[in-house]
Amino acid sequence: MPFHNPQNLKSALSILAVLSLLGLSACSQVPMPLVQTTENARVQVLSRKQATRPTIGTAKEVYAQAEIMAQRWSAHAEPVYLEGRFISSNGLNDAPIDAVWSFAFVSAQKPGKVFQVVSRSETTKLAAQELKQSTLSALEPLEVRAWSLDSSLMLQKARRVTEMIPYPVPKMVLSMNQDHRLVWKIPQLSPMPELNFDAMNGQVLETRR
């Protein structure tokens, strides 16, 4: 198109202007870089982790925190009792009620006394107190080295044995039995009896009368 003609020159400039506008529009619709999207996702994950309450977890997860507190109470603290109330089928104390993990520790340096740690789902930190003249002080220390099955895996195995376990579990206890074995005690719906599981391998144990 010859540009010595003013009319042709005007038409050419108009076409160039339209093309420039189309180019700017296309650039404005280019998606954000993938790096930024990945960064946003990472921030969201971190936010979820930060929002998780330290008082909610499996028995072992919360026990790890309780043990640290007990060691501050006494360097020779040993666990003698672990109890969960209203535990969900996933093994967490995250039921929409006041679900609880409770732990009791004793120490030869503090005869007749018990250090109790309680983790409530509705609070933001674990609570602890020293109890005197508690019947728990006479219990045999838990053989935690034989504790292989966390609450999550234990309930998973229990479901393979029976469909009579109520959820959330009203009460599940980790303790030593009469044969000095570490066991999980899990209730069933009435009139079915409580079940005892070996905390190391999940084997169902006979309950002595």
Q: What is residue 129's DSSP assignment? A: E
Contact 101, 62 (CB under 8 A): yes
Q: pTM value?
A: 0.73
Q: Residues 9-35: pLDDT tens digits?
A: 445 445 444 444 445 444 444 343 333
Per mean pLDDT, which range of 26-30, 41-45, 189-193 is the poorest? 41-45
- Grouping H, G, I as helix, E, B as strand and the rest as coil, residue 77 is coil
My answer on whether omega of the bond before 191 falls inside 30° of 0, hence cis, is yes
Nearest alpha carbon to residue 92 among 155, 158, 184, 173: 155
Does residue 147 register a pLDDT over 90? Answer: yes
Helices and strands: H and E segment counts in the chain: 4, 8
Task: Name the residue ranges covered by the structural domains of the chain.
Answer: 59-205
Q: How confident is the model at residue 208 (pLDDT cuts 50, 70, 90)?
A: low
Does residue 48 register a pLDDT over 80? Answer: no
Nearest alpha carbon to residue 168 among 62, 53, 83, 85: 85
Identity at 48, one-letter amino acid code: R
